[in-house]
C-alpha cells in the first residue's frame, strides 16, 4: 500500500476503566470523528478516535476527559505524544485570526486587516520574529528600530545594490519554531515560501521605494523604505500572490 501523508492529526486510544464517567465518555466517543473499536495483541478491547485539523476543538475537549485514565495513549502524526505538551500550540491555534488567505502561521495578530495581502511578520517567537509590516507612525527619518525587519538582513554589493540574506532570515525563523511545530495551524512550508518570495536584491533608485540613511548611533548606513504606501504596494506584489 502506498504511504499517504495525512497532514496534522491526533489519535486517542483508551481502554475500559472503572471511572464512574466511563459509559458517558464512551457514548460521546461514538459521536466524535473516526471512532472505532479494536482489539490489541493480548485480546483486550480498546477504543480509538482520529482527529484531523478541522476537528481540533472536539479533540481538545475530549482529551481532558480521558487523559488521566490508565493506558490512555495519544499520538500526534503517528508518534507517541504527551497531551500535556499542548499549551504552546493550543494557544496559537485559538489566537490566530482566519485571514491572509487562511494561511497557516503560529502566532496571534498575523494580519491586522482582512484586506491586507501580506503578513505582519514571518516566524513564531514574539521577540525573534522577522518583521514585515511597518508601524503606522513610520517615517523615513523616524528613530524606529528596523533591525528585525527582513530588509535589514542584507549585504552591500555596491552603493546602489543590496543583497537580501534570505538564508539568514530562514535560519532565524527555524531557530524559534520548535515550540510551535505541533500546532495544527502551523505550516513550515508556507513560512519557507514567504521567505523565498522576498527579493534577491534591492536597488536604490531616485524617487524609488528605498533609501539609505546613516544610523549615527550605530555608525553605519541602513536600508529603509521611503514611504509606507509604496513599501506596502511592493510587499503586495512580492508576497500577495
Q: How far apart are CA 126 and CA 148, in angstroms?
A: 11
Residue 218: is it exposed, middle or buried by C-beta count within 10 angstroms (0-12/13-18/19+)? exposed
Q: How far apart are CA 139 and CA 150, in angstroms?
A: 17
Q: How far apart are CA 165 and CA 157, in angstroms?
A: 12
Residue 10, beta-bridge partner list: 51, 76
129 pLDDT band, cuts 50/70/90, is confident
pLDDT tens digits for range 146-187: 989 999 999 888 878 899 999 999 998 888 776 677 777 677
Q: Are strands 45-52 and 9-15 parallel, antiparallel or unpaired?
A: antiparallel
Is 161 strand, coil or helix?
A: strand
For CATH 3.30.70, the residue range(s) in the chain are 9-81
Residue 49, beta-bridge partner list: 12
Task: Choose among 116, 143, 126, 140: nearest CA to 236.
Answer: 116
Share of the chain above pLDDT 70, in %: 77
Match domain 9-81 to its CATH number in 1.10.600, 3.30.70, 2.30.110, 2.40.10: 3.30.70
pLDDT for 239 equals: 81
Residue 109 has pLDDT above 50, yes or no: no
Is 233 strand, coil or helix?
A: helix
Q: How far apart are CA 58 and CA 195, in angstroms?
A: 33
218 pLDDT band, cuts 50/70/90, is low
pLDDT for 77 equals: 85
CA Rg value for the chain = 24
pLDDT for 102 equals: 41
User: What pTM, to 2 d.p., does this model score?
Assistant: 0.67
pLDDT for 207 equals: 66
Q: What is the DSSP string of 91-114?
A: HHHHH--S-TTT---SSS---S-T
User: How many residues does the structure list for the chain?
Assistant: 241
46 pLDDT band, cuts 50/70/90, is very high
Find the mean pLDDT for residues 26-42.
Answer: 95
pLDDT tens digits for range 52-98: 888 888 888 898 899 889 889 999 888 898 877 665 556 666 655 44
Amino acid at each position: 500500500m502506498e504511504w499517504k501523508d495525512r497532514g496534522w492529526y491526533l489519535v486517542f486510544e483508551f481502554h475500559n476503566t472503572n471511572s464512574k464517567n466511563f459509559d458517558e465518555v464512551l457514548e460521546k466517543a461514538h459521536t466524535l470523528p473516526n471512532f472505532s473499536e479494536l482489539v490489541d495483541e493480548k485480546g483486550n478491547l480498546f477504543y480509538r478516535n482520529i482527529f484531523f485539523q478541522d476537528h481540533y476543538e472536539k479533540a481538545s475537549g475530549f482529551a481532558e476527559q480521558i487523559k488521566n485514565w490508565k493506558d490512555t495513549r495519544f499520538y500526534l502524526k503517528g508518534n507517541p505524544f504527551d497531551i500535556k505538551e499542548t499549551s504552546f500550540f493550543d494557544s496559537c491555534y485559538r489566537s490566530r485570526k482566519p485571514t491572509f488567505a487562511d494561511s497557516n502561521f503560529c502566532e496571534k495578530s498575523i494580519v491586522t486587516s482582512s484586506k491586507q495581502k501580506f503578513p505582519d511578520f514571518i516566524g513564531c517567537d514574539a521577540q525573534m520574529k522577522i518583521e514585515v509590516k511597518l508601524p503606522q507612525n513610520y517615517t523615513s527619518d523616524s528613530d524606529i528600530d528596523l533591525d528585525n525587519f527582513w530588509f535589514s538582513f542584507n549585504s552591500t554589493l555596491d552603493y546602489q545594490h543590496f543583497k537580501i540574506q534570505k538564508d539568514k532570515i530562514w535560519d532565524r525563523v527555524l531557530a524559534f519554531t520548535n515550540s510551535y511545530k505541533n500546532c495544527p495551524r502551523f505550516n513550515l512550508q508556507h513560512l519557507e515560501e514567504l521567505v523565498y518570495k522576498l527579493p534577491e536584491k534591492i536597488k536604490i533608485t531616485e524617487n524609488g521605494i528605498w533609501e539609505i540613511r546613516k544610523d549615527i548611533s550605530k555608525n553605519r548606513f541602513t536600508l529603509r523604505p521611503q514611504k509606507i504606501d509604496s513599501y506596502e504596494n511592493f510587499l503586495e506584489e512580492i508576497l500577495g500572490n
